[in-house]
Amino acid sequence: MFVSHRDEIEKKHIADKVIKQVLIGPEQGWEDYVMRMFTLEKEGKAPHHSHPWQHVIFAVEGKGNLFMDGKDYPLESGSVAYVPDGIDHQISNAGEEQFVFICIVPKRGDA
C-alpha cells in the first residue's frame, strides 16, 4: 500500500525546463507499470523520439501539444492520449504557464 501527494515526491530535472516525478511504480508496489508526472515549464519540451512500448497520457493542468506520427494534437487539462509503440512523438508546452501531465508506461519504459 502507498499513499502520498505529488508535492512530497522527488522531482528530477531531466532536461531544460522538464521535471519528472515517479508517482507510482515498482518501489511503491506496482510491479508492471510506472506512473510518472512531468512538468514542462514555458517553452519546455521533450525531444522527438520513439520506443518499443506504448504509453498513455493524461493532461493535469496547462496547455500542451502532442506531436504524434506527423500530426499535432492540442492537449489541455483533462485531455487523454494513447501513444502506440514505435510511433515518433514529442510533447511540448503550448501555453504561458506550466504544462503538467501524467504518463503511464510499462516498467521497461521508465529509464
The CATH code of the domain at 6-109 is: 2.60.120.10
- Name the pTM for this structure: 0.95
Looking at residue 111, what is its pLDDT? 73
Mean pLDDT for all residues in the chain: 96
Residue 108: which residues within 8 A CB-CB, separation 6 or more? 53
Query: In angstroms, rounded to a whole number, what is the distance separating the alpha carbons of residues 34 and 104?
Result: 6
Looking at residue 3, what is its pLDDT? 96
The share of the chain scoring above pLDDT 90, in percent, equals 98
Q: Phi and psi dihedrals of 90, rounded to 5?
A: -155, 140
Spans of all domains in the chain: 6-109
**55 DSSP assignment:** E
Give tens-digit pLDDT for 50-104: 999 999 999 999 999 999 999 999 999 999 999 999 999 999 999 999 999 999 9
Looking at residue 97, what is its pLDDT? 97
Q: Phi and psi dihedrals of 51, rounded to 5?
A: -160, 165
